[in-house]
C-alpha cells in the first residue's frame, strides 16, 4: 500500500509512524485511518519491530481530531458506521496490538486525536501539547472510545467535566491527571520516547504482549482481568523467552529474547 497521509520509518527494532497532514493539523480522515491500520498491522507482523512511536507531523499538532469536513453531512447510520469502523480499524486495533505503542503527543490532541493517543499503550507529551475532547461543541460526542478511555485514565468526574466543557488541558495538567506519563520539551520528544522504547525492547516481547492483554482485560465489560492474568501468566511458561530469561538470570548473563 502506498501511503499518502502517513510516514513510516524504522531504526532497528523501533518504528516511528507519523501522521502527515500538517496543513489540516493531521486531522484523521478515513483514508488516514485505513493507512494507519495497514501500517500498524504490517509492523505487528514484523518480528524485528518491538516498539512503535506514533506522532504527528509539524510542530503544532499530534492530531486535531476526526476530519470535520468529511463527516459534517453524515446521516445517523453513517455516523454510527464512522465510529464503529474507526474503532475496529484503528482505536481498538492499536489498543490490542502485541507491540507496544507510545503516543508522542507533539501539540494539539483533540477529539479523535486524543482518542487515538488514549488508545496507545501510554502517552508522552511535549510541553506545548493541548488535549481535549471538544465534540459536544460540534453537536456530537466522542465516538472513537473517548467516553470510555478518558474516565479510565483520569476518573469519571474529571472526564465528565472535560467532555461537557469541551475544554482543552495543558501538558502539565495532563501529566498531573495521569493522561500523559511525562512532559518534555518539544525538541526532545521523539528522543525521549526512543529512550523509553530502548528500555522496552530489552525485555521479552512475548511477555510484554501477554502483559498488554492482561492489563486491557481489566477494562473490558464482562471479562475478569484476574482470570485473564492467570491464563496469560501460564502461557509465558511455554515460551522460549521464558526459558531464556530465567536461564540467563541463573547464569548471570543478559537475556537475548527471540520473541518466541
Q: Which residues of the chain form contacts with ligand COA (CB under 6 A)?
A: 24-25, 27, 64-69, 108, 110-112, 134-135, 138
Which of 236, 240, 234 lies closest to 258 in space, CA to CA?
A: 240
**Options 115, 161, 227, 256, the catalytic residue:** 115
* Catalytic hit among 16, 135, 172, 256: 135
Helix, strand, coil distribution of the chain in percent, nearest 5: 50, 15, 30
31 versus 68: smaller Cβ distance to ligand COA: 68
In whole angstroms, the minimum distance from the beta carbon of 71 to ligand COA comes to: 8
Q: Catalytic: 115? A: yes
Whichever of 15 and 25 has its CB closer to ligand COA, that residue is 25
What residues are paired with 7 via a beta bridge?
Answer: 18
Q: Which is nearer to ligand COA, 19 or 66 (CB)?
A: 66
Burial class from Cβ neighbours inside 10 Å (0-12, 13-18, 19+) for residue 227 reads exposed
Angle among Cα 186, 189, 192 to the nearest 5 degrees reads 145
CB of 146 to ligand COA, least distance (A): 9
CB of 5 to ligand COA, least distance (A): 13
What cell numbers appear for 225 in the block? 482481568
Q: Would you say 65 or 100 has its CB closer to ligand COA? A: 65
> In the beta sheet, which residues pair with residue 104?
124
Least Å from the CB of residue 38 to ligand COA:
22
Rounded least distance, CB 176 to ligand COA, Å: 22
d(CA 200, CA 204): 8
- DSSP letter string over 71-111? HTT--HHHHHHHHHHHIIIIIHHHHT-SS-EEEEE-SEEET
CB of 139 or CB of 157, closer to ligand COA: 139
Closest by CA position to 131, among listed 32, 57, 63: 63
As annotated, the active-site residues are 115, 135
Amino acid at each position: 500500500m502506498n501511503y499518502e497521509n502517513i510516514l513510516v520509518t524504522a531504526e532497528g527494532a523501533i518504528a516511528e509512524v507519523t501522521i502527515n497532514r500538517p496543513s489540516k493539523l493531521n486531522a484523521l480522515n478515513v483514508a488516514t485511518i485505513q493507512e494507519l491500520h495497514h501500517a500498524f498491522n504490517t509492523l505487528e507482523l514484523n518480528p524485528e519491530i518491538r516498539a512503535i512511536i506514533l506522532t504527528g507531523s509539524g510542530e503544532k499538532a499530534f492530531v486535531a481530531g476526526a476530519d470535520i469536513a468529511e463527516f459534517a453531512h453524515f446521516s445517523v447510520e453513517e455516523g454510527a458506521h464512522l465510529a464503529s469502523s474507526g474503532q475496529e480499524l484503528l482505536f481498538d486495533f492499536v489498543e490490542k496490538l502485541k507491540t507496544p505503542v507510545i503516543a508522542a503527543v507533539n501539540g494539539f490532541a483533540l477529539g479523535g486525536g486524543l482518542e487515538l493517543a488514549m488508545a496507545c499503550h501510554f502517552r508522552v507529551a511535549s510541553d506545548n501539547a493541548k488535549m481535549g475532547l471538544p465534540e459536544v461543541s460540534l453537536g456530537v460526542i466522542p465516538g472513537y472510545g473517548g467516553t470510555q478511555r478518558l474516565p479510565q485514565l483520569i476518573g469519571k468526574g474529571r472526564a465528565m467535566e472535560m467532555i461537557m466543557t469541551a475544554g482543552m488541558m495543558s501538558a502539565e495538567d495532563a501529566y498531573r491527571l495521569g493522561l500523559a506519563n511525562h512532559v518534555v520539551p518539544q525538541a526532545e520528544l521523539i528522543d525521549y520516547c526512543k529512550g523509553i522504547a530502548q528500555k522496552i525492547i530489552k525485555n521479552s516481547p512475548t511477555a510484554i504482549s501477554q502483559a498488554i492483554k492482561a492489563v486491557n482485560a481489566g477494562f473490558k465489560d464482562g471479562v475478569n482481568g484476574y482470570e485473564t492474568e492467570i491464563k496469560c501468566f501460564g502461557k509465558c511458561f511455554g515460551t522460549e523467552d521464558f526459558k531464556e530469561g530465567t536461564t540467563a538470570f541463573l547464569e548471570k548473563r543478559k537475556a537475548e529474547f527471540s520473541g518466541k
